[in-house]
Amino acid sequence: MLKWLTPDAYFDSIYDIDLNSLCSQGIEGLIIDLDNTLIPRDKKAVSDELLTWFNDLEERGLRCCVLSNNLNSRGKAISKKINRPVIAMAKKPSRNAFKKALEVLKTHPEKTVVIGDQIFTDVFGGRRMGLKTILVVPLSGKELFTTALVRQFERRLLKRLIKENRLQKNKKVEFGLEARSDENNQSN
């Protein structure tokens, strides 16, 4: 069971993820959680830093889809601000949620990474679909009561994973994938 709850990588924030490294390893798509991964759950504003990060994704050819368990109204509002697709009311860790995101991205599971702040929704859901997963430290902000309870279990699990050397924070991601085919063709 532990393998389904262990992310492939763990970072302080999305900004610490080396996008060039993801590209060089053949990653083509990102499924990204919204609340407390991109924006605090209790906020609506989108920072300039986040917009720049999305532009960096686009410049590198990385496709992205935001996958959220939040309401459609919040998802639509954020989608307009970031100019990216958002699937709201996703019911993560449901496989259907991740299947929908893969359809939007038009990527294969082995070339797609899930980025999120929760083990029991983002990591577990992604791992069940055969996706690579990156856990980030949740942004500060007000949490739902149920999320706050689940966080207690997540903290214990993270301590165990780190103690057993199954996970290291801010360690370079090594997925062992081939470089993207368009890059391979350019070198020939």
Complete domains list, the chain, with CATH: 2-169 (3.40.50.1000)
Identify the burial level of 159 via C-beta atoms within 10 angstroms of its C-beta, where 0-12 means exposed, 13-18 middle and 19 or more buried.
exposed
Average of pLDDT values for 43-65? 95
Phi, psi of 9, rounded to the nearest 5 degrees: -155, 160
Average of pLDDT values for 68-74? 88
Which pLDDT band holds residue 185 (cuts at 50, 70, 90)? Answer: very low
Q: Summarize pLDDT for 123-182 with one digit per residue, the tens.
A: 999 999 999 999 999 997 677 778 778 888 999 999 999 899 888 888 888 876 554 444
* Predicted local distance difference test score (pLDDT) of residue 141: 67
Q: Summarize pLDDT for 13-24 with one digit per residue, the tens.
A: 999 999 999 999
DSSP assigned state of 167: -
